[in-house]
Homo-oligomer: A and B are copies of this chain.
Amino acid sequence: MIRRIGVIGGGQLGRMFALEAKRMGFEVVVLDPQEHSPCGQVADEQIVAAYDDMEAIERLGQSTDVVTYEFENIAIASVEYLEQHGYHVTPTSDVLRITQDRLLEKRFVRSCGIATADFAEINRLDDLSEASMSIGFPAILKTARGGYDGKGQWRIQSLDEGRAAFSAAKGAKLIYERVVPFARELSVVATRGANDAVVCYPAGENTHDRGILTMTVAPARISDNARLRARTIATTIGKKLHIVGTYCVELFLLANGELLVNEIAPRPHNSGHYTIDVTQCSQYEQHVRAICDLPLAEPKLESNAIMMNILGAGKGDHLTGEDELLTDPSIVLHMYGKRHAVNRRKMGHFTMLVDGAVDEPAIARAKAAHAKLGWQD
Contacts and interface: CB of A to CB of B under 8 A. Distances in A.
Interface string A300-337: 10110000000000000011001100110111111111
A41 B24 contact: no
Nearest to A16: B23
Interface stretch (A51-59, A98-106, A291-299, A361-369): A291-299
Q: Which 7 A-B pairs have the closest CB atoms?
A: A25-B335, A302-B302, A297-B329, A295-B327, A298-B329, A295-B326, A22-B42
A294 B281 contact: no
15 contacts: A19-B19, A19-B23, A22-B42, A25-B319, A25-B336, A25-B337, A27-B41, A27-B337, A277-B280, A278-B302, A294-B322, A295-B323, A295-B326, A297-B329, A300-B329
A45 to B, nearest CB: 10
A191 to B, nearest CB: 12
Contacts of A267: none
A34 to B, nearest CB: 15
Contacts of A24: 333-335
A188 to B, nearest CB: 18
Contact of A334 (B23, B277, B331): B23
Contacts of A299: 329
Given A302-B302, A318-B1, A329 B22 contact: no
Given A24-B334, A302-B302, A329 B280 contact: yes
A348 interface: yes
Given A41-B44, A302-B303, A289 B25 contact: no
Nearest to A351: B280
A353 interface: yes
A135 to B, nearest CB: 44
A107 to B, nearest CB: 35
Contacts of A278: 302
Interface in A1-53: 1, 19, 22-25, 27, 41-42, 44
B44 A22 contact: no
Given A22-B19, A23-B19, A41-B22, A326 B302 contact: no
A50 B169 CA distance: 59
B41 A326 contact: no
A369 to B, nearest CB: 13
Contacts of A295: 323, 326-327
Nearest to A336: B25
A46 to B, nearest CB: 12
A24 B330 CA distance: 15
A280 B22 contact: no
